[in-house]
Chain A
Amino acid sequence: DAKTTQPNSMESNEEEPVHLPCNHSTISGTDYIHWYRQLPSQGPEYVIHGLTSNVNNRMASLAIAEDRKSSTLILHRATLRDAAVYYCILRADNDYKLSFGAGTTVTVRA
């Protein structure tokens, strides 16, 4: 499985943007970039995914580098409810499985 590298932790102030980086230098052409987040004592929830182009949804934006070796999840205005562990995951188009790393723990200060 292609691997991703994320910082262990990040801090942000409430109502400020948060940029979460993810490196995936061994990504293959059929790998989608997925982001999930996990609030304390809950199951992960889907945030966003993309292949080559930048993507936006109601939760976040995903910016993908032109060479696809890195990506950034953008939370436009952090709230206290965004404090969670964020996982960046590569998933091949023909694969069911998601492989989770340690993720980035995001802390939001009021």
Chain B
Amino acid sequence: DGGITQSPKYLFRKEGQNVTLSCEQNLNHDAMYWYRQDPGQGLRLIYYSQIVNDFQKGDIAEGYSVSREKKESFPLTVTSAQKNPTAFYLCASSIFRGYGYTFGSGTRLTVV
């Protein structure tokens, strides 16, 4: 079945460490996105990529980095520069100017 896989589901890290969240899709979608969600809040866009080897900052890109070396993969690195990294991270994809996003099941990151 086609879909988006995010791993791991839960992730714990010590403060000051960089951590990379995985996002893989087999939907042959062109565009991929990373969102962050804090408790009781809506989703906020971190980064998005419309095509391989190209990506743009979203509304809250500071402290995050991404790469898009393959169409299927869009990993997100949460760096030590991100002041409040504990959150629920969601990856999504869509076809070119398509109407529907497909979301992964999310990674819950806790930094202690």
Greatest chain B CB density within 10 A among A42, A45, A87, A97 is at A97
Contact assessment for A43 and B104 in the assembled complex, using a CB-CB cutoff below 8 Å: yes
User: How far in angstroms is the closest Cβ of chain B from A103?
Assistant: 6
Do most interface residues of chain B lie in helix, strand or loop, or is the interface mixed?
Answer: strand
Cβ-closest chain B residue relative to A1 = B59
A13 within 8 A of B: no
**In contact, A46 and B100 (Cβ under 8 angstroms):** yes
CB-CB under 8 A for A44 and B105, given A97-B48, A99-B45, A102-B42: no
* Given A96-B48, A97-B45, A100-B35, A42:B106 Cβ within 8 A: yes
Contacts of A99 in B (CB 8 A): 45, 59
Whose C-beta in chain A lies nearest to the C-beta of B45?
A97
Contact (Cβ within 8 A) B105 A94: no
Interface size on A, residues (CB 8 A): 21
Contacts of A98 in B (CB 8 A): 33, 45, 101
Q: Does B50 contact A (CB under 8 A)?
A: yes
CA distance A93 to B33 in the complex (A): 17
The answer, yes or no, to whether A49 is at the interface (CB within 8 Å) is yes
Q: Which chain A residues in 81-101 approach chain B with CB under 8 Å?
A: 87, 93-94, 96-101
Contact of A44 among B58, B59, B97, B101 (CB under 8 A): B101
What's the Cα separation between A49 and B94 when bound, in Å? 14
Choose among A43, A49, A100, A103 the residue that contacts B99 (Cβ–Cβ < 8 A). Answer: A49
Listed by A's residue number, 28 A-B pairs whose Cβ atoms lie within 8 Å are A32-B99, A34-B99, A41-B88, A41-B106, A43-B90, A43-B103, A43-B104, A43-B106, A44-B43, A44-B103, A45-B103, A46-B101, A49-B100, A87-B42, A96-B48, A96-B50, A96-B94, A97-B33, A98-B33, A98-B45, A98-B101, A99-B45, A99-B59, A100-B35, A100-B42, A100-B43, A102-B42, A103-B42
Mark A residues whose CB is within 8 Å of B: 32, 34, 36, 41-46, 49, 87, 93-94, 96-103
